[in-house]
Amino acid sequence: MNMFLNDYVLPTAIIVAQILAIVVPLLVSVAYLTYFERKVIASMQLRKGPNVVGPFGLLQPLADGAKLFVKETILPAGSNKLLFIMAPMLIFVLSLIAWAVIPFGDGLVLADINVGLLYFFAISSLGVYGVIMAGWASNSKYAFLGALRSAAQMVSYEVSIGFVVITVVLCAGSLNLSDIVEAQRTVWFAIPLLPMFVIFFISALAETNRAPFDLPEGESELVAGYFVEYSSMTFALFFLGEYANMILMSAMTVVLFMGGWLPIFDIAPFNWIPGPIWFFAKISFVLFCFLWVRATFPRYRYDQLMRLGWKVFLPLSLLWVAVTAGVLVSFGWLPNQVAG
Amino acid sequence: MIIQALAFYAFAFVAIAAGVMVVASRNPVHSVLFLILAFFNASGLFVLIGAEFIAMILIVVYVGAVAVLFLFVVMMLDINFVELRQGFMDYLPVGALIGFILLAELAFVVGAWVVSDDASLVKAASAPVAAEISNTRALGMILYTRYVYLFQAAGVILLIAMIGAIVLTLRSREGVKRQRIADQVARNREETVEIVKVQSGEGV
């Protein structure tokens, strides 16, 4: 009995505690990201933003959550009920489980697996199913069109993200995210791989369906796109999933290009600050850029969006993979070289 | 070890059940979703035998790309479900034959693996590296050295298949207006704007 306790119960309890330690702060961040977004965009548009609920409007996200919670859940009569309910759950779950491999600091990672980057890539490529299922199960034209747009868009930009990730892996010599961060001790990959950094950031915008690539939700043409039929908590799950995905893509940008938990310069005042705080500061900066882009640029036209993905980013990132590999091999800079 | 065993039976059972449902479910969209579930469980089985690279690639390639296209096509089809069910008995012998051939081939593979004279050689050839090397690197080391020609051949075949698919579906249509971004960017004021002095009452 005691052995059973030590072998099974205790490890399970520890893992559950670790998961909660990631998920609870994440959900709080998601709530306050919506507040942050409204405040930032309000400032850029010379408005005040939410300022009524609580001091400086700080309780606004909670009020929004409570409002969504008490609303009625509506299941459209012609919908495919099971898939209709599964879709938002799928999106929400996928936006949470990818966090298992994100390193918050030196050794601060839930699952330090060898193929962390591939795991992230696999999970992010599944997000499209939630969208397609939602659009199809709603049995509504707007929702279906939104879902088709979104699927095409996510699949297109996934390809260039894949090539960008390959260049990073070439430079780091590992698929493990902690190793990739450690490989950036001398210089962040954002500097030698600057074009890839820009492509990754723009592709992340497209991948999370954010402005200026928010065609799937285009409210002026498709009402709200794939989640037009959703209400109450099912809608809230889409919303939480979308914002959690934004934070996730920012975290990946930080891990792949901005040195993860490493300080900007490894000298006295900077390396006093602990790693996780650097990590969160960098994520906040990237998130601010997400919001900044939203407040600045008009929406793309759909054919231009596809052209950008397939005809600009894909050849460019493919070329850069070849160039990176060539440079690494010819200068003998390949990391983790296998002898012989 | 008991957890691994339980996980194996769970993955294996769900994979087979999902495979049955792919064939049996009435709605083709449900079939595709069950196919995805089957892929997932197969990938779980790969993780259990320690082949995490292949597990992830299976999800990225099959679930993330191939099945999305399946789902796309199946959703866009206008299918009469009753009509689809008709002729089930006509196709049954053909399906059974294909199933039997696949089963027989699988038996040959397993036979070569277990009972043939070179069985130990076959096993040794496929597991050449020590356990402390991550299997991503192990795969790379064997793929780019021992099997490099086969690997290149597979790449060329895929390239040809891709070009073939494009050639088969490409048709040039007359009178299609296309946007030329380069031309638009290259426009300057002189060739697009003309300032005309217009006499009042005469027009241009």
Q: Are B64 and A158 in contact (CB under 8 A)?
A: yes
Q: Are A158 and A124 in contact (CB under 8 A)?
A: yes
Q: Is the pLDDT of residue B97 over 90?
A: yes
* pLDDT in the model for residue A340: 39
Contact B53 A155 (CB under 8 A): no
Rounded to an integer, the average pLDDT of B59-80 is: 81
ipTM exceeding 0.90? Answer: no
* pLDDT in the model for residue B152: 93
How crowded is residue B90: how many other Cβ atoms within 10 Å of its Cβ? 8
Angle, CA of B59, B61 and B63, to the nearest 5°: 50
Instruction: Give the span between the Cα atoms of A328 and A170, in whole angstroms.
Output: 8
State the nearest Cα–Cα gap between B53 and chain A, in angstroms.
Answer: 6
Tell whether A175 is within 8 A of chain B (Cβ).
yes
Q: Is the pLDDT of residue B130 over 60?
A: no
Instruction: Give the span between the Cα atoms of A203 and A188, in whole angstroms.
Output: 20
* pLDDT in the model for residue B121: 64
* pLDDT in the model for residue A339: 44
Residue A8: both structure tokens together: 């099974």
Tell whether A155 is within 8 A of chain B (Cβ).
yes
Encode pLDDT of B162-178 as tens digits: 999 999 988 888 888 87
* pLDDT in the model for residue A48: 86
Tell whether A129 is within 8 A of chain B (Cβ).
yes
Tell whether A318 is within 8 A of chain B (Cβ).
no
Q: Which of A118, A126, A132 sits opposite B53 (nearest CB)?
A: A118
Contact A115 B141 (CB under 8 A): no
* pLDDT in the model for residue B120: 65
Q: Which residues of chain A have pLDDT under 70?
A: 1, 216-220, 222, 336-340
Lowest mean pLDDT among A220-224, A324-328, B86-90, B124-128: B124-128
State the nearest Cα–Cα gap between B88 and chain A, in angstroms.
Answer: 25
Q: Is the pLDDT of residue B84 over 80?
A: no
Instruction: Give the span between the Cα atoms of B197 and B24, in whole angstroms.
Output: 77
Encode pLDDT of A156-181 as tens digits: 888 888 899 899 888 888 888 888 88
Torsion of CA A93, A99, A100, A104, to 10 degrees: -160
* Higher-confidence position of B160 and A310: B160
Query: Which residue in chain B is spatially nearest to A119 when comparing CA positions?
Result: B56
The CATH class given to the B1-81 domain equals mainly alpha
Distance (Å) of CA B126 to CA B51, B113, B116, B120, B122: 13, 11, 15, 10, 6
Tell whether B60 is within 8 A of chain A (Cβ).
yes
Tell whether A1 is within 8 A of chain B (Cβ).
no
Chain B residues near residue A94 by CB distance under 8 angstroms: none
Contact A151 B52 (CB under 8 A): no
Q: Which of A83, A122, A303 sits opposite B56 (nearest CB)?
A: A122
Contact A8 B3 (CB under 8 A): yes
* pLDDT in the model for residue B71: 84
Domain ranges of chain B: 1-81, 90-127, 135-172
The closest of A285, A287, A282, A296 to A43, measured between CA atoms, is A296
Q: Are A223 and A213 in contact (CB under 8 A)?
A: no
* pLDDT in the model for residue B79: 66
Contact A129 B137 (CB under 8 A): no
The closest of A288, A204, A294 to A249, measured between CA atoms, is A204
Q: Is the pLDDT of residue B128 over 60?
A: no
Alpha helices (H) along chain A? 2-4, 10-44, 60-70, 81-97, 116-137, 141-172, 177-182, 194-207, 219-222, 232-257, 268-271, 275-296, 302-307, 314-330
**Is-cis flag, bond preceding A212, omega within 30?**
yes
Chain A residues near residue B130 by CB distance under 8 angstroms: none
Contact B135 A175 (CB under 8 A): no
Contact B60 A122 (CB under 8 A): yes
Contact A155 B68 (CB under 8 A): yes
Contact B136 A114 (CB under 8 A): yes
Contact B136 A8 (CB under 8 A): no
Encode pLDDT of B11-29 as tens digits: 999 999 999 888 888 778 8
Query: Which residue in chain A is spatially nearest to B67 when comparing CA positions?
Result: A129
* Higher-confidence position of B122 and A16: A16
* pLDDT in the model for residue B153: 95
The closest of A122, A113, A328, A89 to A230, measured between CA atoms, is A89
Tell whether A338 is within 8 A of chain B (Cβ).
yes
Chain B residues near residue A304 by CB distance under 8 angstroms: 179
Instruction: Give the span between the Cα atoms of A20 and A308, in whole angstroms.
Output: 39
State the nearest Cα–Cα gap between A88 and chain B, in angstroms.
Answer: 15
pTM of the model: 0.83
Lowest mean pLDDT among A216-220, B39-43, B194-198: A216-220
Query: Which residue in chain B is spatially nearest to A336 when comparing CA positions?
Result: B137
Contact A132 B57 (CB under 8 A): no
